[in-house]
Amino acid sequence: MHMPNLNEARKRTEEKVLEKKVEYNFSKAFLNKKYFLRTYGCQMNMHDSEEIRKYLELLGFRETNVLEESDLVVLNTCAIRENAHEKVFGYLGRCKHLKREKPELIIAIGGCMSQEENVVHEIKMKHPYVDIVFGTHNISDLPKLLLEKKEAQTKMQEIEVYSIEGDVYENIKYSRDSKITAWVNIMYGCDKFCTYCIVPYTRGKQRSRKLENILKEVEDLKINGYKEITLLGQNVNAYGKDLNEGYDFKDLLERVAQTGIERIRFVTSHPWDFTEEMIDVIAKYENIMPYIHLPLQSGSDRILKLMGRRYTKEEYIKLFRSIEEKIPNVSITTDIIVGFPNETEEDFLETLDVVNTCQFDSAFTFIYSPREGTPASKIKDNVTIEEKEKRLQRLNDLVNHYSLEKNKRLEGSIVPVLILGENEKDKNKVYGYTDTMKLINITGGHNFIGQIVPIKVTTAKSFSLDGEIVR
Ligand code: SAH
Ligand code: SF4
Ligand code: F3S
């Protein structure tokens, strides 16, 4: 048994990161058994679930999307805000119920919540029916843990979570969600330690993958017909800084663009490491999409400083302007937190001011949620939850106003869309994304799934567009 430990998770040393190869020499011991996998959180977690799915398939499992039919439940969890916790513990209640009727059901919990000391303690004390807890650093141990569970036939809870800085795994196989778009990890972990954020503790230190390994993956995806890739990292702009190989994110982007894959995206950009050279590369290559997710978090210099973001309002706006000037037709979205401890009305108005200045294409907005073990969670807060909710509402109203306005400008124009599939609610429609990452629903177009086609925008709403095939 290995329990997570916050102090260990905080450590950053100069120790060299190991590159490990995942081995796939296990048996199909679970032939004809069914698994149910539920994923919470960010793209990184969704991509990890594609790795988990592969292990389960190789063990002989088949997927079901009916919880009650499953022999194994895997919850891949997120810890970013308290409501993520609540959702998972709520769902665990259902699993517990099911296990009463079906004692042989195996329940496994992975993801960022398993890296949290308090959560694992709670699972140990209050949720003994959970069979396996595995962390973000040892996803590839899941087959071993499942096989041990099967052989031992015990009711013992198996907790295997490491609070380590982390390694880089290569040779990972994925069972990908899509045959058209794919995620590609370029780095793991985060060293920024924004004072409100749990990620550096749950994901370990920043570890970049070697450029040649990333390129090889992209080339394979291209050969296999993938049209779009999204490079993943908590701070893609800091790519390579930990490697000392003499290359950075702009070099990686350029090399990936030169593979000729049709569409390249990347998340998340941190304003701190975003250089002018990177903007130039994005502007230069047609296959790098004109879309940047650039989290602001707050418009108040005082709050930004307390958050440890290491840029000012003015620096953010300057970077924003430069991106807008150099990349034609770019769309820029953001993340904003309201109600950081002791945020004043003036601080909040500074945030609204940046929204008015930048007029984001869209924004994810959150109420600050204290995370145990982070520096911000120790600050005594004098803002009431009612006030925070009011600010969130005011912010959302403004954000949505600009989203609609930005989208309205597209009405009547023709935009390139990668069509991904049938619209689930309306079988007469397909959906896809514009180059600028706007969701668009299109009447007809079933013949074009998997292709990039020009689409005429007919109607714009705040969160999506409607369009038609250009004849
Ligand atoms: N690495 C990315 C963000 C990953 S988390 C970056 O630095 O931009 C996604 C978003 O969740 C963050 O941008 C932030 O807006 C929000 N978030 C993170 N921690 C939070 C917390 N404790 N409370 C509320 N929102 C939080
Ligand atoms: Fe969290 Fe900050 Fe790292 Fe983003 S950069 S993952 S917000 S610590
Ligand atoms: Fe959540 Fe972990 Fe992603 S905390 S947002 S799943 S990195």
The residues near 343 (Cβ < 8 Å, ≥ 6 apart) are 298, 300, 303, 368, 383, 391
Q: What's the fold here for domain 325-408?
A: Transcription Regulator spoIIAA (3.30.750)
pLDDT tens, residue by residue, 257-278: 999 999 999 999 999 999 999 9
Give the number of the ligand closest to the Cα of residue 44.
3
Distances (CA, A) of 67 to 36, 93, 109: 6, 12, 15
Is pLDDT of 118 > 90? yes
Q: Is the pLDDT of residue 181 over 80?
A: yes
- 302: enclosing H helix or E strand: helix 301-307
The rounded Å distance from CA 154 to ligand 1 centre is 39
Phi, psi of 300 (to 5 degrees): -95, 125
Cα–Cα nearest to 58, from 36, 82, 84, 26: 26
Supply the CATH classification number for the domain 178-289.
3.30.750.210
Nearest residue (CA) to ligand 2, atom 5: 192
Confidence of residue 1 (pLDDT cuts 50, 70, 90): confident
Mean per-residue pLDDT, 66-88: 96
Instruction: Tell me which residues have their CB closer than 6 angstroms to ligand 3.
Output: 41-42, 44-45, 78-80, 111-112, 198-199, 202-203
Task: Give the bridge partners for 409, in sequence order.
Answer: none
Q: What is the DSSP string of 7-70?
A: HHHH----PPPPEEEPP-----TTTT-EEEEEE-SSHHHHHHHHHHHHHHHHTT-EE-S-GGG-
pLDDT in tens, 211-241: 999 999 999 999 999 999 999 999 999 999 9
When comparing pLDDT for 468 and 14, which is higher?
468
* CATH code given to domain 6-160: 3.40.50.12160
- What mean pLDDT do residues 286-306 have? 98
The β-bridge partners of 73 are 36, 107
Given this model, what pLDDT does residue 15 score?
87
Question: Is the CB of 199 inside a 6 Å radius of any atom of ligand 2?
Answer: yes
Q: Is the pLDDT of residue 16 over 90?
A: no
**What pLDDT score does 471 carry?**
79
Matching fold, domains 6-160 and 178-289: no
**154, pLDDT greater than 80:** no
- Residue 344, preceding bond cis, omega within 30 degrees? no
What CATH class does 414-469 carry? mainly beta
Element (H, E) at 133: strand 132-134
- Say which residue, 1 or 132, is predicted with more confidence: 132
192 pocket-lining for ligand 2 (C-beta < 6 Å): yes
Single pTM value for the model: 0.97
Bridge pairing between strands 228-232 and 181-185:
parallel
Atom 1 (ligand 2): residue with closest C-alpha?
A: 197
- Please state the rounded mean pLDDT for residues 392-416: 98
pLDDT at 398: 98
Tens digit of each residue's pLDDT (9 = 90 or more) over 324-374:
999 999 999 999 999 999 999 999 999 999 999 999 999 999 999 999 999
Taking residues 4-16, report their average pLDDT: 92
pLDDT of residue 453: 97
Taking 80 as the threshold, does the pLDDT of residue 417 lie above it? Answer: yes
152: confidence class by pLDDT, cuts 50, 70, 90: confident
Taking a C-beta distance cutoff of 8 angstroms, is the pair 51, 172 a contact? yes
Ligand 1 centre distance from Cα of residue 368 (Å): 9
Looking at residue 73, its amino acid is: V
Domain ranges of the chain: 6-160, 178-289, 325-408, 414-469
Query: Chain-wide mean pLDDT for the chain?
Result: 96
Q: What is the mean pLDDT of residues 434-455?
A: 97
Of 106, 86, 120, 97, which Cα lies nearest the Cα of 9?
120
